Structure 1
Amino acid sequence: MSAPALKTRERLTEVRYEIRGELARRARELEAQGRTLVKLNIGNPGAFGFRAPEHLQRAIAEHIHDTDPYTHQQGLPTAREALAAHYRRRGAPNATPERVFVGNGVSELIDLSLRALLNPGDEVLVPSPDYPLWTAATILNDGCAVHYPCRPEDGYLPDPDAIERLITPRTRALVVINPNNPTGAVYPRALLERLVAIAAKHKLLLMSDEIYDEVVYDGAQFQPLAPLAGDVPCLSFGGLSKVYRACGWRIGWALLSGDPVAVGELHHAMDLLGALRLCANVPGQFAIEAAIGGEATINGLCAPGGRLYEARRAVVESVAASRHLSMVTPGGALYGYPTVTGAAAVGFDDHGFALELLETQDVLVVPGTSFNALRRDQFRVTLLPEADVLRDVFARIERVLDRRADAQAAGRAAVA
């Protein structure tokens, strides 16, 4: 007689993370069968041949003998001093080492900060589409994610008035992802100033995911939120994974800025939760000072002729040449977020499309609904492969969409 199945947390049924979910599991099965796949589901630079800058690697190697002990729960003191100075140069108020938290990636710090903030039933305003960890971490910390729409017709920029209409007495925080994952939108200063005003009026915590802060194209300007927020409580998140191509090192950070009295209790709660997990990965923390103070190696990759820029060009041109796709050109980050249009979009199911593309064309993409989007006619690809690979990928995508459009035309002809 078998033992009864162990029960798991009920709220996990509300959580989605298709970036590494069912489709990714099917991809592993196909690879085990000998299939060669183009996996565009994860923004993982190292998987596409990118390397962390050499001066960051040297910084870890030179300090490896110092990495055996735990460090302070908020992070290595020299790293926090470097980060505080970095944020002061950007104009962030109250940027001191005591206000900096280093974590095992930004993901850990998002979870930790929401756990410190939320009581059961509290609400967090999250963009739709979003990076799904924000919604998942809110749910798993007993909160309620309230999604504010960011529509392609608006360049995926939110409407501040629409955001304000969603605020209730239970609203605790407003999440901003800039540059945005998955859409690539880069938020202008005027919009950010309006979001700050809303947070100030309703006494909300601003939570600004800025992990792609230096990944911008064609003159787009990244505006950090903390300098605009001033005394309004603001958590600014950054890390080594994207700009510095060091995902596997799991090094992220957060600066808690704003009025010291207003943020004091949150600071204490985050410090307590950080202490409970002892500390973040120590070796990678020795790369922080070298990263912040060293050469901006991302710039050449994002400029014309650079690998990321040319990959983005390949996606933009492929979408423009397609019979079935449209896309808002991404101003930043590492992704394209196309929309299926016309006959191919009739009855379109993004998950079914992604599965068909994987099974028939050996390409793995992420359905748009995985990003807590309401519409089912979008998908996300990463810009990390070489440009020629992406052009070939979009030729395969076109074949699948051609079949869908032709089937729709045949169905209409049969009815006629």
Structure 2
Amino acid sequence: MENKLCKWGFKNGDDIKEKSLFSIRSVLETIMENLNEEDGRVLIHLGRGDPSSIPCFRTSPVTEDAIFGAVRSAKFNGYAPAVGLYSTRRAVAEYLSHDLPHQLSPDDIFLTPGANQGIEVVTAVLARPGANILLPKPGYPFYEARAACSNLEVRHFDLLPEKGWEVDLESIQALVDDNTIAIVIINPGNPCGNVFTSEHLQEIAETAKKLGIPVIADEVYSHLCFGSKPFVPMGVFGSITPILTLGSISKRWIIPGWRLGWIAMVDPSGLLKKSGIAECLQSYLEYSANPATIVQGAVPHILEKTTKEFFSNINNVLKEAVDVFYAKVQEIPCFTCPYKPDGAMSVMIKLNLSFLEGINDDMDFCTKLAHEESVIILPGMIVGLKNWLRLTFAMEPAILEEGLERIKAFCLRHTSS
């Protein structure tokens, strides 16, 4: 089967570099070009982290009422300040402070059109000639893309599957030099589905302090935890080392299309303000896109009024899906799942090619699976682990089970004799 990645000048997965050349969307589009139009079965998409169209993941009525109320009020039809509406920043500060040992102020919050733009802003503001940034492997490829745009060298540290995808702290010390600007920590984990313990987060903070670098804490999936480990924000350890927390309403409220995120400076010692980072963040946002004012207007109501029952229901659906997933994946001989997810919406699976015939690598597996079974999953190479697979389990359990049955049939059909 022709691999459509050649339209970018690459002929197979071996040619793909861990740079900003590919996004998750572009790779998924390439895989979907291999779908068999004659297959009458419904497409099962296990490659994206947007379950908003699935009935069991519909957002809260409180969220819907909030946006209706913001529209009807006629108060949010104009431009907002570059850093965001004061009332919205205050609401975000109060929301985040519930889980912290100290209170954030509205001046600690900078609103962005989603967490992706938060990544853009933070990397651009911290960048300087010759600088480097520490990113997890596997990780979220948008960081590599933004690092490349800011001429930042990327240095990867490993997440250890045999230790529940904890950070390999020993390896970090060998990566850091005087030009290291920050370390990125994603918790709950995207793409691994892990949740870091409080003890491990403290170790990360203490390592960052020792090395003299701040932590960029990507907490887009905050509180989407359904295992034995509760969510602990990195900001709890902001007194140890400065924390720049990235968050959004996309995942917890299942409204990624509303495009509202934030950068929070969790820095009780005031080091980020003293260094001019706060001023630089505000200056950057003066020349950047802003979240829609109407969404900003809805956020205080959303953060204050969404019920605990809504959140617990979403987590229960995710837990049920994970239980279905983990049981079924044990039946697929070429798959190894080193860790049952505790949080977020995705999981990493090791692909054992020695069990298969006619499959060259993870990209080849995904394109042929799409063609033969109308199932979409993401090759691990896009998140930094070649010959692994990233599957999204944020799906109705029955559909997830059918998707895994199709994957199992595909693997058995290609099993080496």
Under a length normalisation based on structure 1, what TM-score does the superposition of the two structures give? 0.88
Structure 1 segment 381-400 matched on structure 2, within 5 A: 381-400=391-410
RMSD over aligned Cα, in angstroms? Answer: 2.2
Amino acid at match of 1:359: H
CA deviations over 1:222-270 (Å, ceiling 9, x no partner) = 1111121215221111111100000100011121121324434111111
Aligned to 2:215, the other structure's residue is in SS state strand
Contact 1:23 1:355 in 2 (8 A): no
Question: Does residue 362 of structure 1 match 2:362?
Answer: no
CA deviations over 1:176-201 (Å, ceiling 9, x no partner) = 00000110111111111111112212
Contact 2:334 2:352 in 1 (8 A): yes
Residue 257 of structure 1 corresponds to 266
Question: Does residue 146 of structure 1 match 2:155?
Answer: yes
Aligned to 1:174, the other structure's residue is in SS state strand
- C-alpha displacement at 1:27, in angstroms? 1.6
Q: Quick one: higher RCO (CA 8 Å, sep 6+), 1 or 2?
A: 2
Contact 1:344 1:402 in 2 (8 A): no
Structure 1 segment 263-342 matched on structure 2, within 5 A: 263-264=273-274, 265-277=276-288, 279-294=290-305, 295-296=307-308, 297-303=310-316, 307-327=317-337, 328-341=339-352
Residue 204 of structure 2 corresponds to 195
Aligned to 2:53, the other structure's residue is in SS state helix
Residue 412 of structure 1 corresponds to none
Alignment counterpart, residue 361 of structure 2, candidates 343, 346, 349: 349
Question: Does residue 24 of structure 1 match 2:29?
Answer: yes
Segments of structure 1 that go 5 or more residues without pairing to the other structure are 1-11, 410-416
Shift of the 26–219 alpha-carbon distance from structure 1 to 2, 3 Å rule, reads closer
Shift of the 203–331 alpha-carbon distance from structure 1 to 2, 3 Å rule, reads same
Question: Does residue 213 of structure 1 match 2:222?
Answer: yes
Q: Distance in 1 between matches of 2:396 and 2:27?
A: 26
Amino acid at match of 2:99: R
Q: Distance in 2 between matches of 1:183 and 1:280?
A: 29
- C-alpha displacement at 1:365, in angstroms? 0.6
Contact 1:109 1:253 in 2 (8 A): yes
Alignment counterpart, residue 55 of structure 1, candidates 40, 57, 62: 62
Amino acid at match of 2:232: Q
Aligned to 2:128, the other structure's residue is in SS state coil
Amino acid at match of 1:326: T
- C-alpha displacement at 1:278, in angstroms? 5.6
Q: Distance in 1 between matches of 2:103 and 2:211?
A: 22
Alignment counterpart, residue 114 of structure 2, candidates 82, 102, 105: 105
Question: Does residue 37 of structure 1 match 2:43?
Answer: yes
Larger deviation: 385-394 or 91-100?
91-100
Q: Distance in 1 between matches of 2:79 and 2:33?
A: 36
Residue 134 of structure 1 corresponds to 143
Shift of the 32–342 alpha-carbon distance from structure 1 to 2, 3 Å rule, reads closer
